[in-house]
Amino acid sequence: MRRVPPNCLSVKRMINKLIAPALVLLLGATYTLCAFAQVKPEILVEQRQGAMRLQGKYLYSLLPMAQGKTPYDAGVVARNAGYLDVLTWMAWDGFDPVTQGEKSRALPEIYKDPAGFKAAEDKLHTEMVKFVATVKAGNEANIKTGIVDLNKACNSCHENFRQKR
């Protein structure tokens, strides 16, 4: 076996202890970033549409309650509010400029006016925070108004940034 001089050994130890784990971390981080970058544009579109559809599922079933067309159900409202609180964060990173060539209802204005699009997203988050608090407070009339207000936040973005059918 080849003998390694002591100072060389300590350098080797240092490499093992410090540099190797750092390299693993660095490579790991790079790998993760690449994994994100590799998501295909058409998949991003499918995912954002999936998130939007689920928002629709859990909000549009509350709207008829708010309008008195179906019986008010506090349990369903509380459950859907919880789902929406999470769902309303999911679609946004799917509106990446790489998706501009894909077939979808996303208007080019999203990328021409990113600040306006972000403002519409933020409006939804603000309404969502209000809605969750209103649902917790438990006043049926206020909750019904909250459902309508939340829907307005969705629609005001759709009006400006989603292609009409």
Least Cβ distance, residue 128 to ligand HEC (angstroms):
8
Out of 53, 79, 136, 152, the only residue in the binding site for ligand HEC (CB under 6 A) is: 53
Choose between 142 and 157: whose C-beta lies nearer to ligand HEC: 157
Least Cβ distance, residue 137 to ligand HEC (angstroms):
20
- Residues in binding contact with ligand HEC, number by CB under 6 A: 22
Q: Is 80 in the site for ligand HEC (CB under 6 A)?
A: no
For 4, the token pair is 């390694």
Region near ligand HEC per CB under 6 A, out of 1-9, 20-28, 54-62, 129-137: 54-62
How far apart CA 114 and CA 95 sit, in angstroms, is 10
Q: Is 158 in the site for ligand HEC (CB under 6 A)?
A: yes
Q: Among all chains, which residue has been given the structure tokens 């002591």?
A: 6
Residue 128: which residues within 8 A CB-CB, separation 6 or more? 84, 85, 88, 150, 153
CA dist 106 to 103, 143, 165, Å?
Answer: 9, 30, 12
How far apart CA 2 and CA 131 sit, in angstroms, is 72
How far apart CA 86 and CA 95 sit, in angstroms, is 18
Least Cβ distance, residue 62 to ligand HEC (angstroms):
10
Answer whether 149's CB lies under 8 Å from 94's CB: no
Q: Is 143 in the site for ligand HEC (CB under 6 A)?
A: no
Out of 52, 81, 135, 143, the only residue in the binding site for ligand HEC (CB under 6 A) is: 52
Residues of this chain that bind ligand HEC (CB under 6 A) = 45, 48-49, 52-53, 55-56, 59, 88, 104-106, 117, 120-121, 124, 153-154, 157-158, 161-162
